[in-house]
Structure 1
Amino acid sequence: MDKQPHRFAGPPGQEDMPYLLTPGPLTTSRGVKAAMLADWGSRDVEFRRVVSEIRKGLLGLAGCNDSYECVIMQGSGTFAIEAALGAFCPKAVTKTLVVVNGAYGDRAAAILSHLGRPMVKIDKGDSAAPSADEVAAALDADPAISHVWIVHCETTSGIVNPIEEIARAVKARGKTCMVDAMSSFGAIALDMGAGIDVMVSSSNKCIEGVPGFSYALAKRDMLQASRGMSHSVVLDLHEQWRGLETNGQFRFTPPTHALVAFHQAMKEHAAEGGVPARGARYRRNAQILIKGMRDMGFSTLLPDNQAGPIIQTFLTPRDRNFHFETFYEELRRRGFAIYPGKLTKRPSFRIGTIGKVDEAVMNGVLKAIKEVLTNMMVTDLAPLEG
């Protein structure tokens, strides 16, 4: 019988499952897990209070003034993305500029195309950041563009785009700025008041909740003007907002357990020190991981000035003994679940540095990687080209 590898101890409440070193779902605290042990009525007074506090808390985290509203939408982050695109992007005459540098920018463009909404793209490939000057030039060249959509942290590569500079360029030209902050919100500072009209994110990212819902923060006047714009009954952001405002209830059954877990996660986020402290922990995780991987001989896709603290992309070694599926399975047996690459040009894999993980976990996965590489007889870690 094969000897089982030593397994790095999982977090409390998840001892028999691996740490999720992914961009979400991610490893959560015992408190967040425990919050899901009770059952809640979706129309109960206490549950409606929880929902109200979540909505107010999210607006506060984003630096919103009283001209913004928070609309929670059942479903994954892409549900809120499609709801926001369907609510706010023009159907005719003017168009939306989608700034693309990875799979999630491409997904927004695909949604708009499917909806038949006029759209143009700036395509930076899968590992280069757009500049404010490029966005400004595109707006100046095409006066018909009225809306801009951009991803804050594109987890295809882990790159963090210069949102503040781009938002300023967009607002200086009187356009609407919409941001997909799915993987960044809660750990990388984002000030909606600096020129962002719409922001979407989800429950299972940097605030460290579990999957089940997403949300859009948007200017109230935009929500009011979006009546009748949606292509969908379920994803109608205006009607969802009206329902929450009227009686604090969802139009359709909400993910009660995910919401109360997120409520607990928000308390823990505040207790840790909010966005600055959460971001600092993730940055420490990233620094330890990147240094350890480079010391072994791995190459990173991104330079340090572009790689954010959310997920790190490493180029696949050229050693013929390296097979990602074997590498993945052996790491999982040792208590760590990583992510395959999602790049279209360079073979790679990704390791997330967010969730309820710390320096000990990063050092643990580095130790496990060394062990797995030895067992696989991988010695040449120079990157595979192609």
Structure 2
Amino acid sequence: MTEGPIPLTPILLTPGPLTTAPEVRGAMMRDWGSRDPAFIALTTELRERLLDVAKAGAGYAAVPLQGSGTFIVEAAIATLLTPADRLLVLCNGAYGERMVTIARRMGRAVEALRWPEDRPVEAAQVAEVLRDVPDITHVALVHCETTTGILNPVEDVAAICAAAGRPLILDAMSSFGALPLDLSRTPVCAVLASSNKCLEGVPGIGFAVAERAALERVAGNSPSVSLDLHAQWQGFEGDGQWRFTPPVQVVAALVEALRRLEAEGGPEARQRRYAGNLATLLAAMRRMGFELYLDEAVQAPIIATFRQPPGFDFRRFYDALAERGFLIYPGKLTGAETFRIGVIGALVPRDFTRLLAAIEEVVAVRA
């Protein structure tokens, strides 16, 4: 068998998986024994660093779980809500709707409060519903809806939920590690995220940063064995070990990614880099005639959604960029023809300068 040349690694302009640093990929080159003290210490470091990113104090615990971000969302809903509880999901995109689907599948009562995909959640409307519907026990919100890249008002919603005595479950999948989140000041019951987005690790781990008091109340509550967040937490608290075989190389990569986040200056510095990427992208895309789907005031520096111009052939556009080493994302909206370009990952504005030169070339050929 003749081996061909190894293809160049593409630049991923997606909301995850995303482009990772060589050091993060290199961390996966070692094998680990999952019950070995060295790996247990690595897991301990992982959990401590996740708490630090969230600015969480002693009242919180970090609970990683094998799988994608959806796994940790399902684990949290199944564990933190009892069959007698009722969840209110604040929806303005596909990932809020997915939480509704998960709650129903797990046998939990759920209601949805919806906004159009180009409008952020309105805290005042949430307050009205919580006042008028007393049997709602929990609220769930997506921080940054990567359906469009819209940013939702976490602090305002969290304050309203706390005043109403309803725990808030926050899907911070595409914001954790870059957008501001301070659990010492923002009352959130559980923050859910994954390894392969703003933390710039590789796919394979979801995690919850959850209130210990909330976890203590839900022993035996989950209908699942592998997705039992309480049992997973108790396993870590007992001997520092994962209950079931962990993705050891993914853990090592995530710890290295968290070390790099600290060295960069933490989430604040990472947000500035991503904002620079977004500014470079938006300025050039406007010059080329592409219209941003969202009002820029609610656009998070995570992923940008652009309207497709008349006669636009997304498949040809995608393929032409892929040939040049750039992978973008199709649209995920129900009511508009769009495509998306992510600005997160181990990328800097000069990477976007190269991307935009490629887009300009592709557009010129199409014209």
Cα offset for 1:21?
0.3
Give the one of 51, 55, 80 matched to 2:47: 55
Partner of 1:121: 112
- Show the 5 A alignment for 1:32-43: 32-43=24-35
C-alpha distance in structure 2 between counterparts of 1:282 and 1:345, whole Å? 28
Q: Quick check: 1:369 aligned with 2:356?
A: no
C-alpha distance in structure 2 between counterparts of 1:76 and 1:355, whole Å? 17
Q: Quick check: 1:101 aligned with 2:79?
A: no
Partner of 2:241: 249
Query: SS where residue 223 of structure 2 aligns?
Result: coil
The answer to whether the 8 Å contact 1:340/1:350 transfers is yes
Partner of 1:150: 141
C-alpha distance in structure 1 between counterparts of 2:290 and 2:118, whole Å? 17
Partner of 2:222: 230
Give the one of 72, 79, 82 matched to 1:87: 79
Cα offset for 1:90?
3.1
Partner of 2:327: 337
Partner of 1:182: 173
- Which of structure 1's runs of 4+ aligned residues deviate more than 6 A? none
Please tell me the residue identity of whatever aligns with 2:105: H
Partner of 1:383: none
C-alpha distance in structure 2 between counterparts of 1:250 and 1:165, whole Å? 35
Partner of 1:313: 305
Please tell me the residue identity of whatever aligns with 1:141: D
Please tell me the residue identity of whatever aligns with 1:336: F
C-alpha distance in structure 2 between counterparts of 1:37 and 1:335, whole Å? 25
C-alpha distance in structure 1 between counterparts of 2:7 and 2:276, whole Å? 24
Query: SS where residue 49 of structure 1 aligns?
Result: helix
Please tell me the residue identity of whatever aligns with 1:266: L
C-alpha distance in structure 1 between counterparts of 2:195 and 2:252, whole Å? 11
Give the one of 52, 75, 81 matched to 2:67: 75
C-alpha distance in structure 2 between counterparts of 1:62 and 1:361, whole Å? 28
Cα offset for 1:346?
0.6
Cα offset for 1:197?
1.0
Q: How many residues align?
A: 361
Q: CA RMSD in A?
A: 1.0
Q: Quick check: 1:353 aligned with 2:343?
A: yes
Please give the TM-score of this superposition, normalised by the length of structure 2: 0.97
The answer to whether the 8 Å contact 1:90/1:96 transfers is no
Q: Quick check: 1:277 aligned with 2:269?
A: yes
Cα offset for 1:63?
1.3
* Per-residue deviation, residues 264-309 of structure 1 (Å, max 9, x unmatched): 1111111111111100000000011011101111100111110000
Taking only the aligned residue pairs, the percentage that are identical comes to 45
C-alpha distance in structure 2 between counterparts of 1:352 and 1:195, whole Å? 29
* Per-residue deviation, residues 132-168 of structure 1 (Å, max 9, x unmatched): 1011011011011110000000000000100001100
* Per-residue deviation, residues 26-77 of structure 1 (Å, max 9, x unmatched): 0000100111111111111111111101101111111111011111100000
The answer to whether the 8 Å contact 1:74/1:214 transfers is yes
C-alpha distance in structure 2 between counterparts of 1:365 and 1:323, whole Å? 18
C-alpha distance in structure 2 between counterparts of 1:141 and 1:90, whole Å? 22
Please give the TM-score of this superposition, normalised by the length of structure 1: 0.92
Q: Quick check: 1:28 aligned with 2:27?
A: no
C-alpha distance in structure 2 between counterparts of 1:240 and 1:58, whole Å? 16
Query: SS where residue 299 of structure 1 aligns?
Result: coil
The answer to whether the 8 Å contact 1:23/1:311 transfers is yes
C-alpha distance in structure 2 between counterparts of 1:286 and 1:89, whole Å? 37
C-alpha distance in structure 1 between counterparts of 2:325 and 2:301, whole Å? 21
Query: SS where residue 29 of structure 2 aligns?
Result: coil
Structure-2 change in CA distance of 1:89 and 1:125 (3 Å): farther
The answer to whether the 8 Å contact 1:312/1:351 transfers is yes
Q: Quick check: 1:166 aligned with 2:157?
A: yes
Give the one of 200, 204, 217 matched to 2:196: 204
Cα offset for 1:15?
7.2
C-alpha distance in structure 2 between counterparts of 1:119 and 1:374, whole Å? 49
Query: SS where residue 191 of structure 1 aligns?
Result: coil
Cα offset for 1:170?
0.5
C-alpha distance in structure 2 between counterparts of 1:17 and 1:317, whole Å? 29
The answer to whether the 8 Å contact 1:90/1:118 transfers is no
Query: SS where residue 227 of structure 1 aligns?
Result: coil
C-alpha distance in structure 1 between counterparts of 2:83 and 2:262, whole Å? 40
Please tell me the residue identity of whatever aligns with 1:366: L
The answer to whether the 8 Å contact 1:340/1:349 transfers is yes
